[in-house]
Amino acid sequence: MVTQERSLVARISSLVEAHRLGQTGHDWQRDIATRFGALGVYGDIGGALMVRPDGSVLSMGWDEEQASAASDGWRITALAAASYRFPELFDLAPERPPTARPCWKCEGSGCEYCFGMGWLPDSLG
């Protein structure tokens, strides 16, 4: 597990670079890596969430040119998605907020929808 000893900045940066070069990831993740130098971690019909190497989380609508700082709710979603989809970013996994509800899909056992956490960030229904 050598990668876990690298700094978060280095781990995110190398993922961004792999996306930018098209070595891995989807087209939208490559686009985000190229345009924003950030790691695309979550996308739905409304837009995408991305994590920059400094750990900040941005959100972007698909029809928007700019990304902007994500709300707290979406930030939790982004960090959960990042830790679930990129094993080397496991330590980004968010704490469960007191207001979080159990995942209605898996009832707490952890599934793709809740990023394996068993609970849902407020921004997901």
Nearer to Zn ion by Cβ, of 37 and 118: the residue is 118
Closest distance between Zn ion and the C-beta of residue 125, in Å?
13
Q: Can you tell me the distance from the alpha carbon of 50 to that of 33, in angstroms, rounded to the nearest whole number?
A: 9
Nearer to Zn ion by Cβ, of 81 and 103: the residue is 103
Closest distance between Zn ion and the C-beta of residue 120, in Å?
7
Closest distance between Zn ion and the C-beta of residue 83, in Å?
14
Nearer to Zn ion by Cβ, of 93 and 106: the residue is 106
Query: What is the chain's Cα-based Rg?
Result: 14
3-state secondary structure at position 119: strand
Q: Can you tell me the distance from the alpha carbon of 4 to that of 26, in angstroms, rounded to the nearest whole number?
A: 24
Residue 61 phi, psi (nearest 5): -80, 150
Nearer to Zn ion by Cβ, of 43 and 110: the residue is 110
Q: Any idea what DSSP says for residue 106? A: T
Residues that bind Zn ion (CB under 5 A): 103, 105-106, 111, 113-114
Orientation angle between helical segments 8-20 and 27-36, nearest 10 degrees: 120
Closest distance between Zn ion and the C-beta of residue 80, in Å?
11
